[in-house]
Amino acid sequence: MTRQDAKPAKISASARNEALEPSSPVMTFGRDKPLRLDAGVDLAPFQIAYQTYGTLNAQRSNAVLVCHALTGDQHVASLSPVTGKPGWWENMVGPGRPIDTERYFVICCNVLGGCLGTTGPASIDPGTGEAYGLDLPVITIHDMVRAQSMLLDEMGIESLLTVIGGSMGGMQVLQWAASFPERVFSAIPIATGARHSAQNIAFHEVGRQAIMADPDWRGGRYVAEGVSPRKGLSVARMAAHVTYLSEAALHRKFGRTLQDREAPTFGFDADFQIESYLRHQGMTFVDRFDANSYLYMTRAMDYFDLEADYGGSLANAFAGSSTRFCVMSFTSDWLFPTAESRTIVHGLSAAAANVSFVEIESDKGHDSFLLDEPELFRTIDGFLSAAGRLRGLS
């Protein structure tokens, strides 16, 4: 194992630069420390890019692991080296925030299969000297979590005060609590499910097919051939972004307002503001994300099914766990509706776990956990502070 410190921050032309020369610190695991994947093969060597915020206390008891969602990264509370924009959860993580970096030591990793420094399809395959592309074995949420646990081992962190994340990040939280209950004092899964629904698998398949239908995808070998499936990835992002919002949020923000014109063009330009917005989302996404990583990470979410992994009973996944849980959902989230959070709560209750549940009234849809939601902030602040007191933090 070797650790590389962060390189000077820079604004990259694309995520490809960060995949090869990450600005974040990187922990590298050699061939002597392979990661056994659920696909049945060993991955070695591999590396994990990560960021930390705050100070680890002498007892090493104040560590908080933040798990990012599908299109997130390790830059939870710091400028993105690709876009130059603030961290994706700066309203949650930082001095005086609910996850207070003056009290807690916060860690956020780029997940396995990602594209900002952790080994993924854009990384170099040591066997060929070229980008892995689709030669990288398929990755699961379980694989992501095991890789994170190896990172924490190298950092000397035996247990976490809490693991927190929304959406795909929430899946990682649940996997952490199931796989390493002795290492997780508390867990906060937000806007997530214990398995991916058929509807969500369908949405992901639409996105993957859009990417693979792009002539520049080249069977996943676009890096070696010097092209990029930008159009396909852009369409995938547009389709997914619709699922992150609610109908009420779309209507409030855009309605049927025309874009910079007083009458329709009677053509196929972006007549409506919502069309222009989605096209912008797609165009900006392709510079910060790798298309093959999108395939791998959506597939990891599709395969996630804790109930199936533990003998058909969600209670089995958490049997005997002493972890304290706070499960959270949003009323307008139709991607991971409240019913899925209640299923998690029922499974935890059946396992006699310590669990609280909060459904937050919001009309902002799935993305509510990333936005300014005072009840979300109050709940996390209160739960995390209580966990800290129970663990002896001042």
Q: Which ranges of the chain would DSSP assign to H, the alpha helix?
A: 15-20, 141-155, 168-179, 198-213, 230-244, 247-253, 273-285, 291-303, 306-309, 314-317, 338-350, 374-390
d(CA 222, CA 122): 10
Sequence-separated (6 or more) residues with CB below 8 Å from residue 277: 253, 254
Please, are residues 333 and 360 in contact by the beta-carbon 8 Å criterion?
no
Tell me the C-alpha to C-alpha distance, in Å, between residue 200 and each of 16, 55, 168, 209, 265: 28, 38, 12, 14, 34
Integer distance in angstroms from the first to the last C-alpha of the chain?
Answer: 34
Instruction: Reply yes or no on whether 366 is catalytic.
Output: yes
Annotated active-site residue in 214, 271, 309, 333 = 333
167 included as an active-site residue: yes
Torsion on CA atoms 235, 239, 245, 251, rounded to nearest 10: 80
Beta partners for residue 188, in sequence order: 164
CA neighbor of 334 nearest in space, from 223, 227, 245: 245
Taking Cα atoms as reference points, which of 129, 149, 376, 371 lies closest to residue 244?
Answer: 371
The answer to whether 176 and 192 are in contact (CB under 8 A) is no
What is the DSSP secondary structure assignment for residue 120, as one 8-state letter? -
d(CA 143, CA 392): 32
Cα–Cα dist 124/108, whole Å:
23
Name the nearest CA neighbour of 163 among 179, 154, 71, 155. 179
Contact assessment for residue 102 and residue 95, using Cβ atoms and an 8 Å cutoff: yes
What DSSP letter does each residue of 301-336 carry, written as one string? HHH-BHHHHTTT-HHHHTTT---EEEEEEETT-SSS
- AA identity, residue 379: T
State both tokens at 29: 């695991």
Catalytic residue among 24, 80, 167, 362: 167
Annotated catalytic residue within 68, 75, 142, 366: 366
* Contact call for residues 6 and 23 (beta carbons, < 8 A): yes
Q: Which residues are catalytic?
A: 167, 333, 366
